[in-house]
Amino acid sequence: MASGSLESLDRLPTALLATIMTKLDVSSICSLAVTCRTFSSCASHILSFLPHFHILDISPTMELIKPLLPPNPHLKSLKLNCGQLSDSSIELLLRPSLQELCLHNCADFSGKLLSEIGSRCKDLRSLYLGSVAEKRGRAIHISDLEELLGGCTQLEALNLMFDISLFLRHNFARVWTLASEKLTSLEIGYISSVMVTELLSPNVGPHQCPNQIRPSVLPGIQKLSLSVDYITDTMVGTISKGLILLTHLELRDAPLIEPRVTFDLTNSGLQQINQHGRLKHLSLVRSQEFLITYFKRVNDLGILLMADKCANMESICLGGFCRVTDSGFKTILHSCSNLYKLKVSHGSQLTDLVFHDIAATSLSLTHVSLGWCNLLTNHAIRSLVCNLDLKVLDLRDCKNLGDEALRAIGSLCKLKMLLLDGSDITDVGMAYLQHGIIGSLVSLSVRGCKKLTDKCISALFDGSYKLQLQELDLSNLPNLSDNGVLTLAKHRVPIAELRMRQCPLIGDTSVMALASMQVDDDRGHGSSLQLLDLYNCGGITQLSFRWLKKPYFPRLRWLGVTGSVNRDIVDALARNRPFLHVACRGEEIGTDPWNDLDGSYMHDYEELDELERWLQEGEDESDDEEMDDADMLMG
């Protein structure tokens, strides 16, 4: 910054600068702080009265986060990635002024976190806790949950994203009677269906006559999201009867063994849904995470019985209903006139006929997901695209879809997300997107589309400008080589997340091209990438790791590589860039912004490199030397 500009800033009142900077998020404040001493001084000062403090994309240590969280009676919202924090940071994090608290990756915390929130944060309205006590040796007791629920009497939204089935069952329902009467939204990471049933059943109270029934716990709940062992008729019926204000119901199970009839969902259970007529959003999904299994006791009759009570439904998600045929799915489309989101996964009997006359309905769908519906062909897509307002189209593993489907999709000018994994498309079909929707797309996945080659990159981006594309998945393409990535770099596409795992022809040249790519002239090399997945790419050698060092890829937060190759230099890279998550075991990396399709499409990583720079000022030199030493050893 020019000296004249610095002198001008010095003349501005500190209160004015502080007022302006408090309108920014933490990352943007840190971005300003590194530009000059005036902003740096002001940034340090305003942290003592900043109302919002959000850092989710990096996991700072206690030493780094402590100076950023001075005493602050004005702090209302705290969102933090706690991957490197533990119980020792509880006193620093928990403030009585907080109304919103969101703590991710709390694996090294014990149940003390819950009890301390209950005693210190009495004014909380919204609470999210992720992965609490998942590290070996950590424990949560029922008394911790009791203190949390009893202490936070103003709580309106509670998200406990960990396994709470470990709590003692005979006290579990009793503890929830302490929950805030204002609680309207509840999400639980894992709980057994039996515990849910016991929790919501209107049983006889401890000091009541046998003929006096205790009212249902949590009567004010409007949104309920649960991951359970089994979705059962009993649990669904209990939820439907007890929660009379329910508008959102999301249930997901992942059975370890094939469920018996008493631990399964049947037509009878579906008939009990929406007894009070307020339900707008319904999701029933049987995950294939542990076992290939389906809802085998539900057929078209069950869907028909449910549809009679779901005329006002706006969003329906059904996963694993293998015995439901076109008749059942068509009933939904023709009964729910307000439907805007339809998601069907593993619909093994779903065919093109479901969408044959969709143009004759009053539907205006914006989100459609038909993953793993293998009987669908291009004809279904041609019928479906009459919904010109479509923003999300998920066609993963619809193996019979080809270039004619892409020709139809090319007319959807509002489309933001397109997933085509495992389809039969070719380079010719990709050109249809270039002439239509490539300018509006934010996320595109063609993972496992075996017929695609380097030419698909040119087909997509030649002649394109003002691109919004931020996520691109080119994984498992056997014919994609460095030449395709060079073409991608030449077009300077501002991609934030690029996945190319399991591409045998991708090598060092691709990494060098991406590291050298400048999306904007005033930004660093490789400046746009925040996630790069190169797991099991055949040509990656030691040379690539030299290009993954600073100053290249300044915003990189996630990196996938093959851990068995260059283990020492991988470890050195992780130490050199402590805010970079290096995955070496083949796991999928990064977060999925599409879990909530109604939310924003992308995370905002824009200024995270400046945040890292401010937190670690003065530490980089020794880290670079360590990286160089590892590089020499590998040489």
Residue 112 lies in a domain: yes
pLDDT of residue 379 exceeding 70, the answer is yes
pLDDT of residue 231: 98
Q: What is the 3-state secondary structure (H, E, C) of 339-408?
A: CCEEEEECCCCCCHHHHCCHHHCCCCCCEEECCCCCCCCHHHHHHHCCCCCCCEEECCCCCCCCHHHHHH
Mean pLDDT value across the chain:
86
Q: How confident is the model at residue 628 (pLDDT cuts 50, 70, 90)?
A: low
Q: How far is CA 456 from the centre of its chain?
A: 28
pLDDT of residue 15: 72
> Do 115 and 193 fall within a single domain?
no
> Do 90 and 232 fall within a single domain?
no
> Do 222 and 339 fall within a single domain?
yes
Q: How many CA atoms lie within 13 A of 578 on its CB side?
A: 16
Mean pLDDT, residues 287-309 taken together: 93
Residue 477 lies in a domain: no
Higher pLDDT, 599 or 127: 127
Distance CA 407, CA 367 (A): 19
Mean pLDDT, residues 5-18 taken together: 65
> Do 342 and 243 fall within a single domain?
yes
> Do 239 and 308 fall within a single domain?
yes
Q: Give residue-wise pLDDT tens across range 53-81.
A: 998 888 889 998 998 899 999 999 999 99
pLDDT of residue 405 exceeding 80, the answer is yes
Distance CA 579, CA 571 (A): 13
Q: How confident is the model at residue 559 (pLDDT cuts 50, 70, 90)?
A: very high
Q: What proportion of the chain, given as a percentage, has pLDDT over 90?
A: 65
- Most confidently modeled of 224-233, 307-316, 465-474, 557-566? 224-233
For the chain, counts of helices (H) and of strands (E): 24, 20
Where are the strands (E) in 209-278, listed by range? 223-228, 248-253
Nearest CA-CA partner of 368 in 418, 436, 403: 418
- What own/partner pairs with CB < 8 Å and gap ≥ 24 does 2-9 have? 6/36, 6/37, 6/38, 9/36, 9/38, 9/39
Nearest CA-CA partner of 148 in 117, 186, 188, 123: 117
pLDDT of residue 627 exceeding 60, the answer is no
Looking at this protein, which amino acid is placed at residue 158?
A: L
Q: Give residue-wise pLDDT tens across range 181-217.
A: 999 999 999 999 999 999 998 764 444 454 544 567 8
Residue 242 lies in a domain: yes
Where are the strands (E) in 91-222, listed by range? 100-104, 126-130, 157-163, 185-191
Residue 603 lies in a domain: no
Distance CA 85, CA 129 (A): 13
Q: Which residue has the tokens 């849910």?
A: 196
pLDDT of residue 20: 72
pLDDT of residue 19: 72
Q: Give residue-wise pLDDT tens across range 446-488.
A: 999 999 999 999 999 987 777 889 999 999 999 999 999 999 9
Q: How confident is the model at residue 614 (pLDDT cuts 50, 70, 90)?
A: low
Q: How many CA atoms lie within 13 A of 83 on its CB side?
A: 11
- By three-state DSSP, how is residue 253 classified? strand
Distance CA 341, CA 392 (A): 9
Q: Give residue-wise pLDDT tens across range 175-186.
A: 999 999 999 999
Residue 164 lies in a domain: no
Mean pLDDT, residues 395-414 taken together: 96
Nearest CA-CA partner of 394 in 337, 426, 346, 457: 346
Mean pLDDT, residues 260-267 taken together: 95
Q: How confident is the model at residue 598 (pLDDT cuts 50, 70, 90)?
A: very low
pLDDT of residue 409 exceeding 60, the answer is yes
Last residue within a domain, chosen from 317, 350, 383: 350
The whole domain housing 150 covers: 49-158
The conformation of residue 539, written as its DSSP 8-state character, comes to B
Residue 13 lies in a domain: no
pLDDT of residue 146 exceeding 90, the answer is yes
Last residue within a domain, chosen from 321, 350, 379: 350
pLDDT of residue 268 exceeding 90, the answer is yes
> Do 134 and 226 fall within a single domain?
no
Mean pLDDT, residues 519-534 taken together: 72
> Do 230 and 127 fall within a single domain?
no
Looking at this protein, which amino acid is placed at residue 250?
A: E
Q: How many CB atoms lie within 10 A of CB 124?
A: 25
Distances (CA, A) of 288 to 179, 263, 299, 320, 411: 33, 17, 19, 8, 33
Residue 270 lies in a domain: yes
If one counts the domains in the chain, the total is: 2
Residue 258 lies in a domain: yes
Q: Give residue-wise pLDDT tens across range 153-164.
A: 999 999 999 999
DSSP for 453-477? BTHHHHHHHTT--S----EEE-TT-
Looking at 312-316, 441-445, 564-568, which range is the least confident one? 564-568
Enumerate the H helices of 276-335 as residue ranges: 300-307, 326-335
> Do 146 and 229 fall within a single domain?
no
Distance CA 470, CA 127 (A): 30
> Do 117 and 252 fall within a single domain?
no
> 14 — phi, psi (to 5°)?
-60, -35
> Do 80 and 127 fall within a single domain?
yes
pLDDT of residue 260: 94
Mean pLDDT, residues 300-326 taken together: 95
Distance CA 192, CA 163 (A): 9
Looking at 37-51, 306-320, 570-584, which range is the least confident one? 37-51
> Do 190 and 334 fall within a single domain?
yes
pLDDT of residue 540 exceeding 70, the answer is yes
Distance CA 346, CA 319 (A): 6
> Do 132 and 272 fall within a single domain?
no
Mean pLDDT, residues 375-384 taken together: 97
* CATH number for the domain harbouring residue 315: 3.80.10.10
Last residue within a domain, chosen from 324, 350, 376: 350
pLDDT of residue 602 exceeding 50, the answer is no
